[in-house]
Structure 1
Amino acid sequence: MSEGCRILLLDDEPLILMDLEFAAEDKDCLPLTATNVKEALAHIEASGGVSCAVLDVTLRDGETCVPVARELERRSIPYILHSGDLNRQEGTLASLDAQLIAKPACSRRVVDTALSLATETTRPN
């Protein structure tokens, strides 16, 4: 999976984002980091594309990951949700059909889970 792997990491918390970035690099993946919806959508649009993604649900300034999740779904790119705000985001979480890993969680586990989804979608039938 690692060859050509480009993983989108969306989180507004710098330390969590850095930890996820290091975990992705340890798997020989190119981490594409974003702290807001605009940056994440730009990575998706850029040449080279995205293999999979890890999305924090609640971002700064009232943003959520929903626009990014919808664009990934439109392109059939697998993603997981990584959130510590489970009580306040029940409606948002229910509207997204994605696996959830609650914060705090081991960054290696989070990245491995996203990569396993990408591997499943690229596996020949």
Structure 2
Amino acid sequence: MNPRLPGKRVMIVDDEPMVAMLLESALSDEDCIIIGPFDGVGSATEAAHGESLDFALLDVNVADGKIYPIAQVLESRGIPFLLLSGFGDGDVPAGHEHWPMAGKPFSIEPMIERICTALGVAC
């Protein structure tokens, strides 16, 4: 299989080690450059502000709070992201209903397709 996202820099923020490893493995299979994974807002803040990023996968509920400050930084930088939540679409904050959300558990293939679409890459 040919990788669909070669060289794309994708940040992962998830405080569940098994989920973070699954995401990292799937994105590595697509030849992405992984930034992280980070386990919370505090650990991801510097990367969100300064790293060269193409996309981010953000768990909404991490150990040190909600991921919304990171999402706001990425949005202000024009970096697309996907929020991940086990609580459904109700986890999108008021005023940010346009933020894309995927439920947990998730399937890898549809997630990769969503990343491709966000980046304008044919899958």
TM-score by length of 1: 0.80
Instruction: State how far apart, in whole Å, the 2-side matches of 1:41 and 1:118 are.
Output: 22
Q: Number of paired residues?
A: 116
* Deviation of the 1:98 alpha carbon: 1.6
Compared CA separation, residues 95 and 13, structure 1 to 2 (3 A): farther
User: Deviations 1:56-99 (Å, cap 9, x if unpaired)?
Assistant: 111114x111000000010000011111023xx83644443222
Distance change (3 Å), C-alpha of 1:20 and 1:95? farther
What are the ranges of 5 or more consecutive residues in structure 1 without an aligned counterpart? Answer: 121-125
- The 3 A distance-change label for structure 1 pair 2 and 91 is closer
Cα pair 1:80 1:101 within 8 Å, conserved: yes
The aligned residue for residue 78 of structure 1 is: 80
Q: Are the counterparts in 2 of residues 77 and 118 from structure 1 also a CA contact under 8 Å?
A: no
Quick one: distance in 1 between partners of 2:34 and 2:79? Answer: 15
TM-score with structure 2 setting the length: 0.81
Residue 13 of structure 2 corresponds to residue 21 of structure 1: no
Q: Give the whole-Å Cα distance in 1 for the aligned partners of 2:42 and 2:112.
A: 22
Structure 2 residue runs of 5 or longer lacking an equivalent are none
- Given candidates 69, 72, 76, the residue that maps to 2:71 is 69
1:116, distance to aligned residue in structure 2 (A)? 2.4
Q: How big is the alpha-carbon RMSD for the aligned residues of Structure 1 and Structure 2? A: 2.1
Task: Give 1 or 2: higher strand fraction.
Answer: 2
Q: Paired residue for 1:100?
A: 101
Paired residue for 1:90?
90
Q: 8 Å contact 1:9–1:55 — kept in the other structure?
A: yes
Equivalence map 1:47-58=2 (5 Å) = 47=51, 49-58=52-61
% identity of equivalent residues: 28
Residue pair 1:52, 1:115 contacting (<8 A) in 2 also: no
Q: Name the CA distance, whole Å, in 1 between partners of 2:24 and 2:109.
A: 10
